[in-house]
Amino acid sequence: MLSTEHNQLLIQIARQSIAHGLEKKSGLSLMLDEYPEKLRETRATFVTLKIDSQLRGCIGTTKPVSPLVLSVSDNAWSSAFRDPRFKPLTHDEFELIHISISILTPSTPITFGTEKDLLEQLRPDIDGLIIEKGSQRATFLPSVWEALQQPEDFLHQLKLKAGMRPEVCPERVWRYESISIEE
């Protein structure tokens, strides 16, 4: 568990990374030894940007690949400038964005026989989900349950995001939880 000070520092790093990107057109360089040990642990994160409750960018990794502070900094920059669904963030938008950080737990496979069996195992408001069939793969963070409250809707939209036909059942599914940090 992270302290309130750690949470505030992560939000500050995310915002600084985006501000640096606006000014220098590149990611922020961080010196790891300047941060508490807890923030140097290797963790998977997503950084979500919203303006007036509307998604403006969301990038992350489902597997831990870098220290927490670097993961947050890199994903904040990528959410602002590299999310393919949006144009790069502008100076005017910077003042309007709301930043949230999701720190993911390790994912665990869900064993299921049928889609009905899978749906019965889903835990709304708790589970983030990764689905895969062949090369098609997508994830929804646990926060997506706010918009898609029924397991059937959640899975249906996740299949569409992965490029799967709605009637196709994923071959592999993993679940994870997340700790959310909000501005």
For the domain that residue 117 is a member of, what is the CATH number?
A: 3.30.1490.150
* 182 is a domain residue: no
pLDDT digits (tens, 9 = 90+) for 79-135: 999 999 999 999 999 999 999 999 999 999 999 999 999 999 999 999 999 999 999
φ, ψ of residue 143 in degrees (nearest 5) = -65, -20
Q: Are strands 54-60 and 66-67 parallel, antiparallel or unpaired?
A: unpaired
Same-domain status, 96 and 120: no
pLDDT digits (tens, 9 = 90+) for 143-181: 999 999 999 999 999 999 999 999 999 999 999 999 999
φ, ψ of residue 144 in degrees (nearest 5) = -65, -20
Go through the chain and tell me how many residues it has. 183
- The per-residue pLDDT for 93 is 98
* 152 is a domain residue: yes
* CA atoms of 112 and 121, how far apart (whole Å): 9
Its domain, for residue 64, covers: 4-104
- The per-residue pLDDT for 61 is 98
For the domain that residue 99 is a member of, what is the CATH number?
A: 3.30.700.20
